[in-house]
Chains A and B, each alone.
Chain A
Amino acid sequence: MTTEISGVIATYGITLLLAWPLSRYIVKVFRGERTWSDFMAPLERLFFKISGINPKEEMDWKQHMKALLTINLVWFVYAFFALMFQDKLPLNPDGNPGQSADLAFNTAISFVVNCNLQHYSGETGVTYFTQLFVLAFLQFVSAATGIAALIVVFKAMKEKTTTRLGNFWDIFLKTITRILLPLSIVIALIFIFNGMPASFAGKDTVVTMQGDTINVSRGPVAGFVAIKHLGTNGGGFFGANSAHPLENPNYVTWMTEMVAQVVIPIAMVFALGMFIQRKKFAYVIFGIMTIGMIGLLIPSMQAEIAGNPAIAHMGIQQATGAMEGKEVRFGAAATGYWSTVTTIISTGSVCGWHDSTMPMTGLMQLLGMMLNCLYGGCGVGILNYYIYIIIAVFISGLMVGRTPEFMGHKLEAREVKIAAIITLLSPFLILAGTALSSWVLTHHPDANWAVKPTAWLNNPGYHGFSEMLYEYTSANANNGSGFEGLGDGNVFWNVSTGFVLILGRFLPIIGPVAIAGLMASKKYIPESAGTLKTDSLTFGVMTFAVIVILTALSYFPALALGPIAEYFSL
């Protein structure tokens, strides 16, 4: 067990060591300074020329959002039709069928919004064409969308008074050519030399040692898994996601996937400090996020290492911890660590099934997604945290009786209203969704869908309720993990989570960008002795308190019905 824990600590340590230089590099790229990756510039110019884009044209926050939403709409339409008609497209060696309209709707949205909910199984539900040209493509561009929105907020926070916030296309494309693509190649090469498949060969047929004939699904896995983690997407190439031994063959690939998914979210926090030249502000944020992560991590790892109490009652010692739905090569401690990280940063990939984790761990997973700002997904994590900062500044302002100010600009009614709407949106989507599905389950148990409501839940009692709560929490947080026992492959779940996905993605992007854009256009007020110091530890604790109280008020009743009740009944 000690080597399992040292493995986890080393993995986190490596992440920090890499995040630091990466953050310096990211800042250089977006300040337009010279970097080693300038050899990409001709390719970028070519792309802009063909697309008819002038990358030097400055945009205000509204133009940024219009460009962002337009290209996201294009991706959705493209993905929807490609998935529906994938059986007629090339690169389908296993002869998989096209997706139904509702499944294609859900899958297309899910990948456009960086969630990767996956109501299909990778081996049978998609083809190599859609895996690569649709899903892997979306994994790149959706991550770049989140980062591009965050860079706009960075620029707005940095300037005294401006409406010129850079060019969306320029930031977006550079995120791909300078950050995501080069890093993905490096990561994929590590995977390939650890035995992960990368070719276009279809299913293989093998006669085993004892004479059984089995099939082995394969495909271009390595490149997919690299961007799946680097872009905090999380959608698996295979149904078993990163628990599949061809998608995560050994402990070295485990560490690589683990580092890959956290490194950009952490680097973006450091980059924030450097970009707006307030390093202390970023360190305080990093500290609060890390404390929050550790608070979720320790109970999770503890519960998984201790094992399942119900199996202990049968007289089994469980020296290796709770092993249901886990893989031996990772072990219980490492799987506990992964489950925390993947839920706080919105990746949603798994190396062991969350449905089979202990109730305490399930509670921590749900909380991680409800907070959704401890490091958080590519770009969007800090945007979510930004909303909490605005609320904390506003409440602090009320407490001292001054008009609240943030980064040298007055925070007024309009901004606070936007922040309040965004804050209320998450509990509304999660709880309304769960209430709706519970209502359907109890009032229309025999509705004639592909999976009847009576067959939705894979587990009885409190845990069954948690399966539904988890699904909407994951959709709203654009996380993509699931209590996968849920029978979600039917029109009800595809459509209802589809709408939660859209709202849970774009409003929390537009909100912070709008607030930052509105604030940046106001008159600059120099700091004085009476200004609230937002880079102080006190303000950090204040933000933390706001986050904890809002989350507890919003979700405690639902959590009490699910994992908390399950914990006390086990």
Chain B
Amino acid sequence: MKKYLWPSVKLTLLLVVLLGGIYPLFLAGVAKMAPGKGDGVKVMRNGKVVGYENIAQKFSDDKYFQPRPSTVDYNAAGSGGSNKAAANPDYLKTVQERIDTFMVHNPDIKKENIPAELVTASASGLDPHLTPEAAYAQIPRVAKHRGIAADRLKQLVDANTKGPVLGMLGVATVNVLKLNIALDELK
């Protein structure tokens, strides 16, 4: 063992410099040319930063589209999910409460059509997206509170929907923050 100790120590030091130092520095340099310059992609509105494109934010008001429930209260200082098991009775009570709340605020939606993602917490607590269906389900509410025709809102959701990769791989998503910004700009 002794024979290998000094070579181990020296090789470790060299590799720490290469892999822990030079590698990330190089990447940080290249990232200056990338969207967000490697600091995360921000969303601007009237010249002011209002959030990060990929971080969900809270919209409590009924006249906005609302993102998925979060266990970290949409504060990206941390991240995480509920880690509740499928059959946990306390958890199922929470889901039932979310269903009831949703039905109070969205009386036009039939219970069976409530999108599952709106009554379950996301994995990161920061999920910035909804499926188009979950956005559609909120249209009658938003339309009523804003006095905008439902058709126009559907067009707006569709315009803010990103289809699957190449049209065939993965999921169609709507970025809630961007959708709400576009919503405020509707005249």
Question: CB within 8 Å of B: which residues of A?
Answer: 3-4, 6-7, 10-11, 47, 50-53, 66-67, 69-71, 73-75, 78, 121, 123-124, 132-134, 136-137, 140-141, 169, 173, 176, 181, 184-185, 188-189, 192-193, 195, 197-201, 203-204, 206-210, 212, 214-218, 220, 222-224, 238-240, 243-246, 249, 251-252, 254-255, 307-311, 314-331, 334, 350-353, 355-359, 458-461, 463, 483-485, 566, 569-570
B33-72 at interface with A (beta carbon < 8 Å): 34-41, 45, 49-61, 64, 68
Query: A214-B76, A314-B96, A358-B86 are known contacts. Are A209 and B11 too (CB-CB below 8 A)?
Result: no
B185 part of interface (Cβ distance < 8 Å): no
Query: A53-B7, A136-B24 are known contacts. Are A324 and B120 too (CB-CB below 8 A)?
Result: yes
- B86 lies within 8 A of A322 (CB): yes
Closest B residue to A317 by beta carbon equals: B112
B42 → chain A, closest Cβ, in Å?
8
Query: A74-B8, A310-B87, A459-B85 are known contacts. Are A329 and B116 too (CB-CB below 8 A)?
Result: no
A136 neighbours in B (Cβ, 8 Å) = 19-20, 23-24
- A483 lies within 8 A of B83 (CB): yes
- A239 lies within 8 A of B7 (CB): no
Query: A132-B21, A198-B27, A214-B74 are known contacts. Are A255 and B169 too (CB-CB below 8 A)?
Result: yes
B133 part of interface (Cβ distance < 8 Å): yes
The listed residue (B20, B34, B40) touching A134 by CB distance below 8 A is B20
- B170 lies within 8 A of A123 (CB): no
Question: CB within 8 Å of A: which residues of B?
Answer: 1, 3-12, 14-16, 18-21, 23-24, 26-28, 30-31, 34-41, 45, 49-61, 64, 68, 74-89, 91-92, 95-96, 99, 111-117, 119-131, 133-134, 164-165, 167-173, 177, 180-181
Q: How far is the CA of A176 from the CA of B28 in the complex (A)?
A: 20
Q: How far is the CA of A252 from the CA of B167 in the complex (A)?
A: 13
A195 neighbours in B (Cβ, 8 Å) = 34-36, 40-41, 53-54
- A137 lies within 8 A of B123 (CB): no
* Apart from A141-B15, A324-B86, A566-B86: 14 A-B pairs, beta carbons within 8 A: A136-B19, A136-B24, A140-B15, A189-B30, A193-B34, A195-B34, A209-B64, A239-B80, A246-B54, A309-B86, A325-B120, A329-B127, A329-B170, A459-B84
- B28 lies within 8 A of A199 (CB): yes
A208 neighbours in B (Cβ, 8 Å) = 50-51, 57-58, 74
The listed residue (A66, A188, A328, A356) touching B82 by CB distance below 8 A is A356
B15 neighbours in A (Cβ, 8 Å) = 47, 137, 140-141, 176
Query: A210-B59, A314-B96 are known contacts. Are A216 and B52 too (CB-CB below 8 A)?
Result: yes
- B79 lies within 8 A of A240 (CB): yes
B30 neighbours in A (Cβ, 8 Å) = 189, 192, 198
A100 → chain B, closest Cβ, in Å?
19
Q: How far is the CA of A67 from the CA of B55 in the complex (A)?
A: 46
